Amino acid sequence: MDIYGLKRIPFLSRHNFFHEFHHILAWGVVVGLIEGNFAAIVVAKTFQGSEFLISVASATPMAMHVVSLMWGAYCVGRRKLRIFTFCTTGTALMLASVAMTPEVSCGGWLFVLQMAAAQFFQTGAVTVRSALWKSNYPPLVRGQIAGRLQVARAVTRLGSVAIIANIFDHDPQSYRWIYPVVAVIGFIGVYCLQRMRVRGEDSELRRIHDGQLDGNGLTAHASAHKLLSSSHVLSSAVHVLKKDARFRNYCIAQMFAGVTNLLLRAVIVIILTQQVLAGMQSGYWLNTVLLELLPMLLMLIAMRPSARYFDRAGVLSYRAIQMVGWVLAIFFGMCGTLAIGSIDRLGPTAFLVSVGCFAMFAIIRGICLGGGSIAWNLGHLHFASHEDAEVYMGIHVSLTGLRAMFLPILGTYLWGQIGWCVWLISLACGLVAIHFFRKLAVSDRPDTPANRELQGINSRQTTSI
């Protein structure tokens, strides 16, 4: 019985897929606690954090992506699986340290710092994973393979967050043992990595160390201190952005898309935890359903068809369609905010209307995230050659981190100053992003390194997964 569906995977990719699938099942439990909004909910409910601390907690997981450029530079000329193992181990250790967080006024800040440290290592794992997928899985089915792995991760993440939210509802101080248990599960996932192989890595390393490839100015002979210096890393990023105008325009489009999402990241947590669901006397469970579980469930359902469309249409066309969904989700979120603001006129009905609107927001958001997780991990490969995939991923993820460092905090400030009008700013940026992605898709030409690689793939590897 082929319970893993290996017969639908290209033969040379089956070994790595089998072991990575086991890793991703365990790792889904880990990312459920350090990605998304769960940390912000813990800060709001367990540590009674202020609006500012909630916004910092909400921004931290994405903001730490700013170090991805450093990870991308460090990966050039080095064994990717070793770095991946190091990063995943570091993530699990930081989760285990939460057991020592004190129940004092500064405990919320310490918890946020621990989540930031965990995300620092997780960002390295995300950066290297993209390069592993580039090496191990053929491009014509890469999106579908990535989709299957993301589905497995979403299933364990969905189940674990649902269980942990229920436990927190009964005992908010249970973080002292929950995080160490999840760390142990993470270590099991790290162990599953050890039998993976990176196809073509030996020949690639020989070419880099022999000087045949310069990795966009990143030389493997450089010391770690020189390689990770701010001037060297930034100059490498500038070199790529100057050389590749199409990737530069893609990053601009991604910036507007990021504003659409990140500007409201903390605002939504504040509205739900302190206004909508606080008025309904709701604890962790309903907060987690609207902020995490419902979007993840819809993401799980939408991921397979989104992956097929991504492989067929490409990242640019997919992003244009996806942003239409984001704009619609923002519209429903704005309606939910206006409803709770009209409680004097609508009475108790305002709570039900607001929850309904935010449920629609969560549903549409989850559908958009279904392919968004694939596009976010693979989109830059449309522009990168085989040898500089880590650098492109580093630039893309670091720009995400730069946006996330200030946009949630800016959104919280604007929420305090202009109220619901902050949703209008997000809507406007979403419409601009749609325009940019559509323009890029129309002007796209089949002359990128990724497309040249596609043309060299044997047609037998195009079998749909």
Does residue 94 lie in a domain region? yes
Contact present, 291 and 362 (Cβ < 8 Å) = yes
Nearest one of 153, 116, 140, 122 to 450, comparing CA atoms: 140
Q: Does position 216 have pLDDT exceeding 50, yes or no? A: no
What is residue 89's predicted lDDT score, i.e. its pLDDT?
Answer: 95
Does residue 148 lie in a domain region? yes
Does residue 101 lie in a domain region? yes
pLDDT band at 432 (very low <50, low <70, confident <90, very high): very high
Contact present, 60 and 119 (Cβ < 8 Å) = yes
Token pair recorded at residue 425:
């700013």
Classify the C-alpha dihedral 413-419-421-426 as positive or negative: positive
Cα 461 from Cα 419, distance rounded (Å): 53
| 314 torsion bin: left (phi>0), alpha (psi -120 to 50), beta (else) | left
What is residue 387's predicted lDDT score, i.e. its pLDDT?
Answer: 60
Nearest one of 74, 117, 110 to 92, comparing CA atoms: 117
Q: Kindly give, in sequence order, each residue whose CB lies less than 8 Å from that of residue 361, ignoring residues fewer than 6 positions away.
A: 268, 329, 330, 332, 333, 336
Contact present, 79 and 390 (Cβ < 8 Å) = no
Does residue 337 lie in a domain region? yes
Cα 87 from Cα 187, distance rounded (Å): 11
Does residue 405 lie in a domain region? yes
CB count within 10 Å of CB 297 equals 18
Which stretch, 131-135, 251-255, 373-377, has highest mean pLDDT?
251-255
pLDDT band at 223 (very low <50, low <70, confident <90, very high): very low
Contact present, 168 and 47 (Cβ < 8 Å) = no
pTM of the predicted structure, to 2 decimals: 0.67
Does residue 71 lie in a domain region? yes
- What's at 425, amino acid-wise? I
Nearest one of 85, 114, 121 to 180, comparing CA atoms: 114
Cα 334 from Cα 411, distance rounded (Å): 14
Does residue 158 lie in a domain region? yes
Least confident of 146-155, 263-272, 275-284: 275-284
Nearest one of 141, 456, 133 to 308, comparing CA atoms: 141
Q: What is the CATH number of the domain that holds 131?
A: 1.20.1250.20
Could you tell me the residue range of the domain that residue 404 belongs to? 12-212+233-453
Domain count, the chain: 1
Nearest one of 398, 399, 388 to 450, comparing CA atoms: 388
What letter would DSSP give residue 115?
H
* pLDDT tens digits, 44-86: 778 877 878 888 887 787 778 778 777 877 777 778 889 999 9
Does residue 464 lie in a domain region? no
